[in-house]
Structure 1
Amino acid sequence: MNDPSKPMFWRDLRMPYVELRKVGDGRKVCYAPHSHTQWSLGAITEGKSTFLYRSDQFEVSAGALVVINPNWVHACNPIDNQPWGYLMLYIDTDWLTKLRYESGLLGTPCWQDISTAIISDHKWYTGYCRMAECLLDSNRELLEKQTVVVEYLTALMHELSGQASEPVSKTPDNFQALADYLRAHAAVDVSLDTLCERSGFSPGHLIRSFKRHFGLTPHAYLINYRIQRGQQELKHGKPIAETALNVGFADQPHFQRTFKKLLAATPKQYRQSLLNQQIDTTGGK
């Protein structure tokens, strides 16, 4: 069994700007005051701990987020050997600066520290946990992981700055071209970087604006189209395993889970209903 006191790190060379650390039992994980070059966002997932942040000290418990600016001295440690667990996301400062600048939150592409130290709003905690779950899941695709990180951090940056998201400024034709590209490349791994290069959009603007136009993020749009294609293949009698690979899923179980999530029926149930319809048409009432 895995030792919960040992940290687990998630990294992906295709997303070098983000790293995630997970500790299930932090009682044996004690820190001297230190700092990071990255901007860091932590979530207390269990128990309580102390959070030393420069000259301030807080007691934080499960459901809270801690915000740590680059090069700010800090330390988190257990209280009287009580259980506590946490997740810590490290974001490259230059990457986050660019994200904030392109979102209209910075007047110049230069880092500005964020004054907030603790976030207690539960919606940001649950969103953080969903993001971490996505990153840690080896079955999730690159575009989904990139989308969840950009979408969450962009929204959080607007929240912390007290500014609303910027309005859509591109014409629908730009989004239609992206949608056409996604459909044409539905069976391969598409990256957010590629979509940005093709459109000229920043990651945050692309995701929000695409979602406003189509009601889905680019990744959700891609998955939805794959399932639509899967339905067509199943209608033509293709085996489920073959269909899964043809439409861009890594394996049959992933296809089956997604199919059921979107259509409330398994691929097998869908195929069987088609067979029953054929029987009724040829020999039924």
Structure 2
Amino acid sequence: MQDNLFQYCKSQHLDGVTLLHARMHDFSYRRHAHEEFSLGVTLAGRQDFWSEGGFYSSAPGNIILFNPGAVHDGHPGTDDSLYYRMVYIHPEQIVPMLQAAGMRNAGLFRSPETLLNDAHLRCAILQLAGLIEQGVCGSLEHEQGLYSVAERLAQLQGNFEPARRNRHVDRLLLRAREFIHDNVRQELSLEQISEQAAMSKYHFLRLFRQHFGMTPHQYVLNNRLNRAREALAAGRPLQDVVYDTGFSDLSHLNRRFKPVFGMTPRQYQQVVLNG
């Protein structure tokens, strides 16, 4: 018989965001409530629980969403061990992101559903959980991970306000893009980049992706990879390329470079220089 296991991990970059990785075999939660939004994904086993007057069973892949203050309990629904991940997000952290994602009256948001099965939201929750657990990425990637969760919640609600653009906004976005180009070595935060466009950071994130087709984090990474490719083609030593393009070490560059260009930086340099 496996022991019950509960591992909590606070985000290093997002205040009010905590991850729980749980394995339960013979443990039952008493009825309780959280002040945060609680978004969990059942990974294995079955999770049976009561919440706000209803009984639910969550199979692997299902999403459990408890609103702040929602009373609930929980326990394994079969003899098999239950595995799940739960991300707790304080309203003060997620409401600005819901607003930036276009949700009307975001401050009043409460999910009408407790049990969901949505592949996009499930992927966003697990990606955010992975970032918190690994703790190796910068604040820009963590904020993007949380925004992806908020954006999908806003989409599922269906009460959008379309983002408005004009030439002045476009010029501000171009200025922010140039700031990224000029600071390729730096570990930029979303706040630093959005300040160049004189916008709130989550509104900026939404408009930036709408304009350039990728998030600020994706654009920063793409810019670094393009600069790295140019330096490799010019014959620069690998360690210099790592330093000049803002990667933490060669293995970090390898992990990011190969999925985009199909080979490692060293292989790319050899192919380009040797014809």
Q: Structure 1 length normalisation: TM-score?
A: 0.87
Give per-residue Cα distances to partners, 1:10-69, cap 9 Å, x unaligned. Answer: 32343113111112x222442101011111111111110112112111011111111111
Matches within 5 A, 1:201-220: 201-220=199-218
- Which one-letter code corresponds to 2:146 in the other structure? V
Out of 34, 37, 43, which is 1:36 matched to? 34
Structure 2 CA distance for aligned equivalents of residues 57 and 6 of structure 1: 24
- The count of corresponding residues between Structure 1 and Structure 2 is 272
264 and 49 in structure 1: CA distance in 2 versus 1, 3 angstrom threshold: same
Is 1:245–1:252's contact at 8 Å kept on the other side of the alignment? no
| TM-superposed deviation, 1:215 | 1.7
CA distance in 1, matches of 2:161, 2:221: 25
Structure 2 match to 1:162: 158
1 CA distance for matches of 2:209 and 2:95?
A: 23
Tell me, in whole angstroms, the C-alpha distance in 1 between the residues paired with 2:72 and 2:174: 46
Q: What is the aligned counterpart of 1:231 among 216, 229, 232?
A: 229
Q: Read off the aligned partner of 2:81 and give its amino acid letter.
A: P
Report whether the alignment pairs 1:18 with 2:17: yes
Listed one character per residue, the Cα deviations across residues 54-97 of structure 1 (whole Å, up to 9, x for unaligned) are 21110111111111111111112112432211111111112223
| Residue equivalent to 2:73 | 75
- Among candidates 113, 118, 126, match of residue 115 of structure 2: 118
CA contact (8 A) 1:151 1:207 kept: no
CA RMSD of aligned residues (A): 2.2
Q: Where does structure 2 lack aligned partners over 5 or more consecutive residues?
A: none
Higher-Rg member (1/2): 1
In the TM superposition, residue 113 of structure 1 has moved relative to its aligned partner by 2.5
Asked whether the 8 Å contact 1:93–1:111 carries over to 2, the reply is no
Asked if structure 2 preserves the Cα contact closer than 8 Å seen for 1:37 and 1:71, the reply is yes
Alignment of 1:128-277 (within 5 A): 128-159=125-156, 161-164=157-160, 166-170=162-166, 171-277=169-275
Work out which of the residue numbers 60, 65, 70 in structure 1 matches 2:58.
Answer: 60
Preserved contact between residue 178 and residue 195 of structure 1 (Cα < 8 Å): yes
Against the structure 1 CA distance between its residues 268 and 61, is the aligned structure 2 distance closer, same or farther, given a 3 Å change threshold? same
1:148 deviates by 1.7
Change (3 A) 1:51 1:198: farther
Q: Which amino acid aligns with 2:163?
A: P
Indicate if the aligned counterparts of 1:103 and 1:166 stay in contact, CA closer than 8 A.
no
Structure 2 CA distance for aligned equivalents of residues 185 and 257 of structure 1 = 21
Who is 2:8 aligned against?
9
Indicate conservation of the 8 Å contact 2:39/2:125, yes or no. Answer: no
For CA contacts below 8 A with separation 6 or more, give which structure has more relative contact order. 2
Give 1:206 deviation, angstroms: 2.3
Given that 2:76 and 2:82 are in contact with CA atoms closer than 8 Å, whether structure 1 keeps it comes out as: yes
Q: Quick one: percent identity of the two aligned structures? A: 22
C-alpha change, 1:95 and 1:130, in structure 2 (3 Å) is closer
Cα distance in 1, alignment partners of residues 70 and 84 from structure 2: 19
Letter in 2 for 1:138: G
- List per-residue Cα deviations over 1:117-163 (Å, max 9, x = no partner): 1111233223322332233233333211211211221222231x222
Q: Which residue of 1 aligns with 2:92?
A: 94
The amino acid that maps onto 1:184 is D
Deviations 1:208-241 (A, max 9, x none): 3212221211111111111111122223322212
Aligned equivalents of 2:209 and 2:194: distance in 1?
Answer: 15
